[in-house]
Amino acid sequence: MTINILQIYDDIAAWFEQTRDCSLMEKPYLDQAITLSGAKAGSTVLDLGCGTAEPIAAYFIAQGLQVTGVDGATGMIDLCRRRFPEQHWLVGDMRTLDLSTPFDIVIAWHSFFHLTADEQRAMFPRFAAHLRSGGVLVFTSGSDENVVWGEMQGHKIHHASLSPAEYRALAAAHGLNVVQFSRDDVACGGASVWTMQRM
């Protein structure tokens, strides 16, 4: 089955804004990224698949960081621009992104796993190119190699994951050190979260 994930999120933008859990259960991982990267006021974050900016980009902004948010759904980016007009919001596709600038933190929370296995492999040089030395990458995946289909407001949604061993190998091949892999973190809605740091 072939789906256009960007079009789906554009179609459901209003529904997504209303239903997205904004309790900030992701906070421990966001704080860890800030600490590891040494980020301070004015440091930069690249949020890939930023959605409506709530709650993740909003949290970084509240810490004084400068966010560049990228999402393929125009409806999502419109909401971001209205909510935080002083930040940088782009309609774009992480698979082809080339901003020619490194960031202190790159995050792809519940977005990266919508890519196919091959697209995920191809993202690692792109991740590395957008991270400064010492910068931190955070993304969510499945707990092991698999493909799962879910549903959001009647739309079939594709989730894919490589094996933990392959993610580690890809990280090493692109100058990224795996700091932590939290598999199925119950305190974070069952998310499997990777934290990596560019060497």
Query: Any idea what the CATH number is for the domain that residue 153 is in?
Result: 3.40.50.150
Average pLDDT, the chain: 92
| Residue 20 confidence (pLDDT) | 72
Distance CA 135, CA 196 (A): 8
Strands 44-48 and 103-108: parallel
**Does residue 1 surpass a pLDDT of 50?**
no
**Does residue 44 surpass a pLDDT of 80?**
yes
Task: Answer with the residue of higher pLDDT: 21 or 71.
Answer: 71
Question: Using one digit for the tens of pLDDT, what is the confidence trace for 130-150?
Answer: 999 999 999 999 999 988 877
Segment 7-32 mean pLDDT: 80
**5 band by pLDDT with thresholds 50, 70 and 90:** low
Nearest-CA neighbor of 3 among 172, 128, 116, 135?
116
Nearest-CA neighbor of 140 among 22, 75, 49, 70?
49
Question: Using one digit for the tens of pLDDT, what is the confidence trace for 96-131?
Answer: 999 999 999 999 999 999 999 999 999 999 999 999
Number of domains in the chain: 1
**Does residue 18 surpass a pLDDT of 90?**
no
The whole domain housing 70 covers 5-198
Segment 143-161 mean pLDDT: 79
| Residue 2 confidence (pLDDT) | 47
For the chain, report the end-to-end CA distance as a whole number of angstroms.
38
Q: Which is it for the CA torsion 143, 67, 26, 196, positive or negative?
A: positive
Question: Using one digit for the tens of pLDDT, what is the confidence trace for 52-102?
Answer: 999 999 999 999 999 999 999 999 999 999 999 999 999 999 999 999 999
Segment 20-35 mean pLDDT: 92
| Residue 21 confidence (pLDDT) | 73
